[in-house]
Structure 1
Amino acid sequence: MLIGQITDIHLGFEPDNPAEFNRKRLDQVIAYLARPGHAPDMLVATGDLVDRGDGDSYRRLRNALSLCPFPVWPCVGNHDIRENFIQYFPEIPIADGFVQYEVPGTGDLRILVIDTLEEGRHGGSFCERRAAWLTARLAEAPDRPTIIVMHHPPLEMGIDWMDGGPSEPWAMLFAATIAPHAQVRALICGHLHRSISAAWNGVTVTVCSSTAPQLALDLSPMDPDRPDNRPMIIADPPAYALHRWNGRELVSHFDTSGEHVMLAKFDPSMQALVRELMGERG
């Protein structure tokens, strides 16, 4: 199974511009993912779907995603507003008022989408009601490999001005909720606008870069009282991830939809090398 991921679309950052920069970047990624022979089996959109939570942006997002020749399964992030999201995506399941559900039709792999939004807060949130739902779902299939899709990563990633931390109450509750369930193999997240991977409590956490502009890579400490003119947001090409489940492991690949300059191609001059490399697999 091939799972595509886009995240942090922030559609509506320019609310009065129907041809806004973020929409062009989203369209570019969708066109890239939809290429014949390359399309994933499904696409997860891991939050901050729109920038201001407004209905018009969700309407335009739905229009953009309608071009996908594969099912799209979204979750909400801190820039989203549940009420408006639900109005424009009524087919997405809701559990106890939260955007939480199991993705159907995933074979031997189970995919659970959870809601880490607390409206008015940039960081994550996870409460007892959400924990009860997740606990019940995990108890249903203890032997089935499971991936959890969410917006906020529950650990410190090193980008000081965007980081949460494992000692935040929501992250501690989430960690305690999944700890007894060894079938949880990976978390697929957004929020940080960069491609990042980490091992956390025996679980692989992957964060995908955004279709909107990216965060600059700067892991030095930041003093909020001393602006130092460091880059914060950069216009790298719009990005996506492809997560490949091979029946044993989830293997994540990250790429951009910008132009890639080809230096070699599979033509007769490369055939001997390809045969040699593939022949060594036995």
Structure 2
Amino acid sequence: MLIGQITDIHLGFDPDNPAEFNRKRLDQVLRYLGEPHNKPDMLLATGDLVDRGDGDSYRRLRNALSMCDYPVWPCLGNHDIRENFIAHFPEIPVVDGFIQYEVDTGPLRLLFLDTLEEGRHGGSFCDIRASWLRDRLVEKPGKPVIIVMHHPPVEVGIEWMNTAPDEPWVLLFAATIAGHGQIKSLICGHLHRPIVAAWNGTTVAICPSTAPQVALDLMPIDPDRPDGRPMIIADPPAFALHRWNGRELVTHFDNADEHVMLAKYDENMQPLVRSLLAERPG
């Protein structure tokens, strides 16, 4: 099974521009994922779907996603507004006021969490959301689970985007999933960078954004002393492909720019391919 992921689309950042930069970047990724060798079985859109939470941007997002001939499953980020999202995506389940739901693929369960607290940049997770997740995890303890959420609960070292390990929502989330070994991975967005980390017995895979990326700078930052460091950079629009092989989830990151081919599979490369495959059992 191949699961695509896009995140941090921020559609509507330039709301009065019909040729918006972020829309062009989104369309570029969706075209790339529509090619036969990249095409996923489903697509996850992991939050910050629009930039200002407005209804018109959600309408345009739905129009953009209509080019996908596979299911698209969203969750919300800190730039989203639930009421406006629900108005334009009424088919997505709402539980106790939160966008939380399950997608059962057969071999794998995807549990989508709502980590949005409107008006707050960082994540949020409360007793209501924890109760829903806890109930889902005890339902089928033997079936592999992937948790899909916008905010990663791990500290990554980019100080102005960091999540502190002692934030209350992180502690509650960690306690909720503790002891549930069927959780194979957490799939997140928010940081606009490709990042993978081990955390609390599972793996956190953080997808780069279709919108411009966050610059990689792991130095301390002083909120009282602007130092001119780059913060947002125009690296290519990016995505993730998560491959479930029946045992583990393997994550690949790529971007939708044109890749310069240095070698192709032809008669010259055929001996190498044959020799590599011959080394494997079976």
Q: TM-score range by the shorter chain?
A: over 0.9
- 1:167 equivalent in structure 2: 166
- 2:244 equivalent in structure 1: 245
Taking only the aligned residue pairs, the percentage that are identical comes to: 75
- 1:110 equivalent in structure 2: 109
Worse-matched range after superposition: 179-188 or 72-81? 179-188
- 1:149 equivalent in structure 2: 148
- 1:90 equivalent in structure 2: 90
CA distance in 2, matches of 1:124, 1:272: 51
> 1:180 deviation in Å?
2.4
Once the two structures are superposed, the pairs formed by residues 121-200 of structure 1 within 5 Å of their partners are 121-200=120-199
Structure 1 counterpart of 2:99, one-letter code: V
Q: In structure 2, the residue corresponding to 1:62 is in which secondary structure?
A: helix
Q: In structure 1, the residue corresponding to 2:161 is in which secondary structure?
A: coil
Q: Which whole-Å deviations, capped at 9, do the CAs of 1:127-175 have from their partners, x for residues lacking one?
A: 0000000000111010101000000001111110011111000000000
> 1:38 deviation in Å?
2.6
Q: In structure 1, the residue corresponding to 2:58 is in which secondary structure?
A: helix
CA distance in 1, matches of 2:3, 2:143: 17
Q: Which whole-Å deviations, capped at 9, do the CAs of 1:186-217 have from their partners, x for residues lacking one?
A: 10000000000000011100100000000000
CA distance in 1, matches of 2:59, 2:42: 21
Is 1:13 the counterpart of 2:13? The answer is: yes
> 1:36 deviation in Å?
2.4
Is 1:81 the counterpart of 2:81? The answer is: yes
- 1:64 equivalent in structure 2: 64
Q: In structure 2, the residue corresponding to 1:269 is in which secondary structure?
A: coil
Is 1:259 the counterpart of 2:262? The answer is: no
- 1:45 equivalent in structure 2: 45
CA distance in 1, matches of 2:199, 2:32: 31
> 1:182 deviation in Å?
1.3
CA distance in 2, matches of 1:140, 1:257: 39
RMSD between superposed Cα atoms in Å: 0.6
CA distance in 1, matches of 2:196, 2:170: 17
- 1:216 equivalent in structure 2: 215
Structure 2 counterpart of 1:76, one-letter code: L
Is 1:231 the counterpart of 2:230? The answer is: yes
> 1:19 deviation in Å?
1.1
Aligned length: 281
- 1:54 equivalent in structure 2: 54
Structure 1 counterpart of 2:171, one-letter code: M
CA distance in 2, matches of 1:230, 1:170: 30
- Structure 1 portions without partners, runs of 5+: none
Structure 1 counterpart of 2:28, one-letter code: Q
Worse-matched range after superposition: 30-39 or 171-180? 30-39
CA distance in 1, matches of 2:266, 2:220: 49
CA distance in 2, matches of 1:210, 1:128: 30
Q: In structure 1, the residue corresponding to 2:57 is in which secondary structure?
A: helix
- Structure 2 portions without partners, runs of 5+: none
Q: Could you tell me the TM-score, scaled by structure 2's length? A: 0.99
Structure 2 counterpart of 1:66, one-letter code: S
CA distance in 1, matches of 2:172, 2:37: 41
> 1:219 deviation in Å?
0.5
Structure 2 counterpart of 1:268, one-letter code: E
Q: Which whole-Å deviations, capped at 9, do the CAs of 1:227-256 have from their partners, x for residues lacking one?
A: 110000000000000000000010000000
CA distance in 2, matches of 1:238, 1:162: 19
- 2:101 equivalent in structure 1: 101
> 1:18 deviation in Å?
1.6
Structure 2 counterpart of 1:113, one-letter code: F
CA distance in 2, matches of 1:44, 1:117: 17
CA distance in 1, matches of 2:57, 2:150: 19
Q: In structure 2, the residue corresponding to 1:103 is in which secondary structure?
A: strand
